[in-house]
Structure 1
């Protein structure tokens, strides 16, 4: 089989990591090729540009690791839809595009992959796809995310958040809750990404501007060490199709406080402290527990290590390549 892959999704993102882990486990008999032209994924005519490249590719099958399907094609295609975030937190144009373009084109896919049962249920309800067409292939964590190894030691204990700063990530409530729940002035809140004036202003109003630290862009190879150095990881997102950071943290032996909504409880099970992401007081109480209760942290550490072992890139890749092979036959 000769497979064409949409390589525009590659890079240091959750989808990029997912694609990398699948491709590096490619069966020997499959030949992989990539798009020759590159244009922005969010280009509104992307499905039609994709169709042009696919139809001139002389391949047997097309797979996109992200949500963008081609407008038409002479060969079958498989699409991975990680979530429906644009329907919940996108602009009115995003919602229109998803409802009028993406939803219709997904019906032409030979198979649609997704990364959690939550996302599968939401996708089926929204799209009207037949259930047998939508297959769950969970995300996982790589071997670098493990308990043993170098730990980041900045000279102070810290609660860590890893991720982007979009509104649904709920960083504002996290900062407010941290100010209420973490009384120990030595404990800091460490965020991935560059310094943000708006978040600094919020921290100042909460009288904790000297307790928030921005790490800048964290290199992939440095991320496990940053997890290992944390007192705990906080991930109180309002919406996720999977949510890799809690699983990465647990694989590194770090306790997690996370949202009790969308896919997150499915991923973390009973191995994390779950809170209502809309309730600042409940988040604050959870952070207080994690920073002050050594026994709780130890129990969550052990539970998290076991939970992380339930997710395997080998199993995910095997299932993905099985679906792709079946479609190509």
Structure 2
């Protein structure tokens, strides 16, 4: 029996926290739905903009609001930009009732700056996400820990620039197609957001690089690699020979070839 996991970062956590032998772990990157690879038509963008009241340029954060999402620092980082840029901050995702809502608490600390600049879309239909990504000027995902980081991949497929934490699985997903920032540094998050929001050339370059990067993540490829794990008898290998981006991923008996296409 083997454990198939979606990222190298999660594979390392399985080894560290659960003492899973490396020859029992295989990494298979997931894909994304086809809807995120097609630009929504103008009328669809307009409808989603009206539905959620998004009449200003905005920074988007997608996902449930939980402590590991690092939203206190994100709100502080955005507060540093609110007086110099016209953008709003939009949270798409519900708060987890088990934890304090750190995003709302952060807004409450800056009422004059943020009361009318931060929006909480507690529930967003899956069908609306491609348009929401396409409307955003940047997706920010400052999480301290992620198993994979699907919103980053979805945004890149939509041509939306990504600012992500330089932590956990996110560098593995984003690669060099987005800006990575120290998630424990408010200043680093602020400067990464400022760079994307004030530099049109950088934003266009990141959008193009993100689309190319996202094209590598396909469910057909994930299925092929998963089937290969079932069909191929294990071969002895040294554990963890390489973690290099673009190289071969070897963990114990299994080898998953990650083709470098960028």
User: Shorter-chain TM-score: which interval?
Assistant: 0.7 to 0.9
- For residue 267 of structure 1, give the secondary structure of its aligned residue in structure 2: helix
CA deviations over 1:132-186 (Å, ceiling 9, x no partner): 3211111221111125114343211110000111101011110110010343453
- For residue 160 of structure 2, give the secondary structure of its aligned residue in structure 1: coil
Q: Residue in 1 aligned with 2:173?
A: 267
Q: Residue in 1 aligned with 2:25?
A: 134
1:197, CA displacement in angstroms? 6.9
- Contact 1:111/1:135 (8 A) holds in 2: yes
Between the aligned partners of 1:147 and 1:295, the Cα distance in structure 2 is 22
**CA pair 261-189 structure 1, distance change in 2 beyond 3 A:** same
**TM-score under structure 2 normalisation?**
0.77
1:219 equivalent in alignment to 2:110:
no
1:213, CA displacement in angstroms? 0.7
Between the aligned partners of 2:175 and 2:102, the Cα distance in structure 1 is 33
- Contact 1:147/1:228 (8 A) holds in 2: no
**CA pair 182-288 structure 1, distance change in 2 beyond 3 A:** farther
Q: Residue in 2 aligned with 1:232?
A: 138
Higher relative contact order (CA 8 A, sep 6+): 2
**TM-score under structure 1 normalisation?**
0.62
Structural mapping, 1:171-210, within 5 Å: 171-184=71-84, 186-194=86-94, 199-206=103-110, 207-210=113-116
Between the aligned partners of 2:230 and 2:64, the Cα distance in structure 1 is 31
Between the aligned partners of 1:289 and 1:183, the Cα distance in structure 2 is 16
CA deviations over 1:235-258 (Å, ceiling 9, x no partner): 000001211011100000000000
Structure 1, unaligned runs of 5 or more = 1-109
- Contact 2:140/2:162 (8 A) holds in 1: yes
1:120 equivalent in alignment to 2:24:
no
Q: Residue in 1 aligned with 2:60?
A: 160
Structural mapping, 1:73-84, within 5 Å: none
